Amino acid sequence: MNLKGRDFLTLKDFTPDEINYLIDLAAELKDKKKKGIPHDMFRGKNIALIFEKTSTRTRCAFEVAASDLGMGSTYLDPTGSQIGKKESIADTARVLAGMFEGIEYRGFGQEIVEELAKYSKVPVWNGLTNEYHPTQMLADMLTIKEQFGELKGKKLVYMGDARYNMGNSLMIVCAKLGLDFVACTTKEYFPNEALVNECQEYAKASGATITLEENPQVACKDADVIYTDVWVSMGEPDEVWEKRIKELSPYKVTKELMSLAKPSAIFLHCLPAFHDLKTKIGAEMAERFGIQDMEVTDEVFESEQSKVFEEAENRMHTIKAVIVATLGE
């Protein structure tokens, strides 16, 4: 498998074999790391990390992966660079490509990361846009594979805002790799029709199924994975909180819903999660709307079935695999 020189912008651009290769490469790199086997084969190389939105996992994953590979990394934060204010994306791409072997970008519209890739002669990696979060998908699939030994035929139910980066990307990866994907939410929050149709085509080839379901009890029945994400994403206005809490509360992941899934089912969340009142926003919403949690109860989040921290660790191993594969050994 040769992915050298490729950008990593959305999994739509990758075949099932290529995606499975990246997941397996991540498992190999994870094994090496656990055994203390050095893999610093990119000594002398450097990567740039552009973050126009904040991050804990993605930033740390790129920085630790780069360090393990022997590379340097430079973090450009949401306020500390000229990008978009004094310098265009096209100019930024050409400047950074002259100094770095790869560029990560997290920000707003997908068209921005595409523009960056168009003008960059080195690989560009999407660290999250409004539309997609492809590096998260590799971590999620690695986590599911570690739990069940396989991906094909597993039923993944995504609860909540299914029309944003996480819902879109999970539908794409499930369709490509042969999982049964269910988006469980109200009609307003279903993924857009064009993307559903595109994924139906991938599903024909892989044996996956795609279902849009409004009833949580029906959706969660016999699930292998129940997945959710925050109800309001980065960059969305504060005004939408009230409406989202009202409309998406029926899709909160509870113990009752988990009990409808298979006994072996796991709970996943890309994180960060609002499962208690120990965050500034969580406490503010509790005060305004009298709630204790949002997309998942603390009980489920802290349960044995919850694999969210294994999933978070896998961000690093999978991002490392993307760097290794696209820069080429």
Q: Tell me the residue type at 284.
A: E
Select the span of 49-57, 84-92, 184-192, 290-298 touching ligand CP (CB under 6 A): 49-57
Mask: binding to ligand NVA, 104-133, rule CB under 6 A, as x and -? ------------------------x-----
Q: If 0-12 CB within 10 Å is exposed, 13-18 middle and 19+ buried, where does residue 31 land?
A: exposed
For position 60 contacting ligand NVA by CB under 6 A, the verdict is no
Q: Which stretch binds ligand NVA (CB under 6 A): 40-48, 95-103, 162-170, 278-286?
A: 162-170
Give DSSP secondary structure letters for 173-196: HHHHHT-EEEEES-GGGSPPHHHH
Residue 230 binding ligand NVA, by CB under 6 A: yes
By CB under 6 A, what part of segment 114-173 binds ligand CP? 128, 136
Quick one: 217 exposed, middle or buried, by C-beta within 10 A (0-12, 13-18, 19+)?
exposed
Greatest C-alpha distance within the chain: 55
Q: Alpha-carbon Rg of the chain, whole angstroms? A: 19
Q: Which stretch binds ligand NVA (CB under 6 A): 33-41, 72-80, 164-172, 182-190?
A: 164-172
Q: Which does 165 bind (CB under 5 to 8 A by kind): ligand CP, ligand NVA, none?
A: ligand NVA
- Please provide the DSSP assignment of 128-168 as one string: --SS--HHHHHHHHHHHHHHHS--TT-EEEEES-TTSHHHH
Total residues interacting with ligand CP, rule: CB under 6 A: 8
Quickly list DSSP for 227-256.
EE--SS-TTS-TTHHHHHHHHHGGG-B-HH
Closest approach, Cβ 230 to ligand CP, in A, equals 10
CB of 167 to ligand NVA, least distance (A): 9
Q: How far is the CB of 127 from ligand CP (least distance, A)?
A: 7
- CB of 136 closer than 8 Å to CB of 169: yes
Q: Which does 56 bind (CB under 5 to 8 A by kind): ligand CP, ligand NVA, none?
A: ligand CP
Tell whether residue 165 is a contact of ligand NVA (CB under 6 A).
yes
Which residues contribute to the site for ligand CP (CB under 6 A)? 55-58, 128, 136, 270-271
